[in-house]
Structure 1
C-alpha cells in the first residue's frame, strides 16, 4: 500500500491535471455543474455495479471516475470563488468531528445504534426541521423508502421485533387482495405501494439491503434468460415460437448453472 505522502502526492497530481484540462481541453472547459450532474449519477451506478459484482479492480477504476467528478465540481466552484477543494474537504472534516462527539468529545455511546440516533439528533440541532430533509427527492423510490425508514428509526420511530413487521406485511397483502377483488385500480396501486414499503421495512430487520437483493435477482434472471435465448438460437427456433413447457426445460437447466 502507498504511504500517506504518496496518497497526498497522487491527489495533488489529480488537482494539477484538472487545472490543466480546465484550461486547455475544449470539452472540459465547457462543463458546468449542471452538465456534469447526470454523468456523476451514471458513474455512481457504475460503482454500485462493481461493488455488487465484488470486482475490486473495477471498484478502483470507478472510484477514480467519481473522484474526478468531485475534483471537477470543486474546480468549477473555485472559478466563481464560491468554494474550492480545501473548502469541500474542511467542511466534511468539520461535520464528521461535530457529529462524532463520542470520538471528539465526551459523549459515551453503547453501540452503533446510539451513534445513528445521536447523528439524527445533531442534524436537527443544526437547523433541519425534519429528519427526512436529508433524503434526496430524486432517489429511486426503492432506495428512498429504505432511507426514509432508516432516518425515522434514528429518532426512535420503529418497530421493536421482526415478527411485528412481518405481521404488517401480511396485513398489507390482505388489503391489496381486497382492492384487487374490488378492481379499483387507484386503490390497488396505493396498496401495492404499501406492500412494497412494508417489505422494504422487513428487509431492514433481516439486515438485507433491498436494493442489493433486487439487483442480485435482476442479474440472476438476466443470466438465466440469456441462457434460454442461447439454447433457442442453437435449436434455430425463435423464443416466440417455443411453448412455455419447452422454455421451462432450458430455464431449469439455467438454474443449475452456478
Structure 2
C-alpha cells in the first residue's frame, strides 16, 4: 500500500501552525520579513550547489528548503492582509502567460500555438519580446531608470552583469568585445598607479572598476561571469587539494614547502585534469 503523500495545502497548514502565537514554534513566531532574507539567499545557493555537483538525490530537499522560504513570505503577507500563497501563484502564472505569447497566443492558459514546433520558433525573437515586455512592466510601475528593480542583494558579479546588460540595451556600450578589452587594460593601468601610490581607498575603487570591466567583457563573449568564476573556484579547489596531498605524502607541512615545489605539484594537477 502506497504511503499517503503530503500536499502543498499541507505545507501551507504547517506554516500556519508554526507561526501560531500559542501553539507554534518560538523561533518561527519570532521571524519577520528581514530575518528570513539571508536564509532565502543561502537556500538558493545550496540549490545551485547541488545542481553543479549533480547531487540529484539531494535536490528535492534543497528545492523544498527554497520553497519553504516562499511559504514563509506568503504567511507574512497573509498575516498582514497583504497577499497569500495563492496570490503569488496567480500573479506568477498571469505574468508568464503574458510573457509567452508565442506559446499562449490568445493570452490565457488554455490557448496553444498551432502548426509550429517549439524547436522551429525563433529564439532570438522570443528573447527580444521577453525583454520588451519586462521593459513595459517596469514602465507601468513608473520606473525612472533602465536600472530600476535590479536587486541590491544579488551576488556582486551577477548584479554587475545585469547593470551592464541594462545599460547596453539603452545604447551605452562598445560595438564589440575589443572595447571591453581596452577598458580592462585602462582600468588595470589605473589600479597599478594607485598601488604604487599606496592609496588604499583608491585601490578599492579601481579594483572594483577592473572587475566591472571584466564583467562587461564576459557579457560581450556571452559568458556568465558568476558561473565562470564558480568554475574557476572549483578548479582551484581540486588543484590545491592535489598540492596538499602531494606535499603530505612527502612528510613536510605545506607551510614549510618552498614555492617552486608547490608550483610543480600545481602544474602536475593541471596535467592530470587534461589527461596528460
By the TM > 0.5 criterion, same fold? yes
CA contact (8 A) 2:180 2:217 kept: yes
Structure with the higher fraction of residues in helix conformation? 1
Match for 1:142 among 149, 157, 175? 157
Q: Say which is worse superposed, 116-125 or 37-46, in terms of deviation.
A: 116-125
Q: Distance in 2 between matches of 1:235 and 1:100?
A: 61
Deviation at 1:65, TM superposition (A): 0.8
Provide the residue aligned with 1:223 in structure 2. Answer: 238
Tell me if structure 1 keeps the 8 A contact 2:102–2:126: no
Residue 121 of structure 2: aligned partner: none
**Structure 2: runs of 5+ lacking an equivalent:** 107-123
Residue aligning to 1:195: 210
Q: How do 1:118-157 and structure 2 match up within 5 A?
A: 118-157=133-172
Q: Which runs of 5+ in 1 are unaligned?
A: 1-6
- In structure 2, the CA distance between the partners of 1:92 and 1:256, relative to structure 1 (3 Å rule), is same
Correspondence for 1:3: none
| Whole-angstrom distance in 2 between the partners of 1:10 and 1:251 | 51
Instruction: Map 1:148-167 onto structure 2 (within 5 A).
Output: 148-167=163-182
Conservation of the 8 A alpha-carbon contact between 2:75 and 2:84: yes
Q: Could you tell me how far apart the structure 2 residues matched to 1:62 and 1:49 are?
A: 10
CA distance in 2, matches of 1:71, 1:241: 52
**Number of equivalences:** 252
SS at match of 2:242: helix
* Conservation of the 8 A alpha-carbon contact between 2:190 and 2:206: yes
Instruction: Report the counterpart of residue 4 of structure 1 in structure 2.
Output: none
Q: Within 2, Cα distance between the matches of 1:164 and 1:118?
A: 29
Of 205-214 and 55-64, more deviation after overlay is shown by 55-64
Task: Report the more deviating stretch, 151-160 or 239-248.
Answer: 151-160
Q: Which residue of 1 aligns with 2:16?
A: 19
CA RMSD of aligned residues (A): 3.0
Tell me if the contact between 1:78 and 1:84 (Cα under 8 Å) persists in the aligned partners. Answer: yes
* 1:86 lines up with 2:81 in the alignment: no
What TM-score do the two structures reach when normalised by structure 2? 0.77
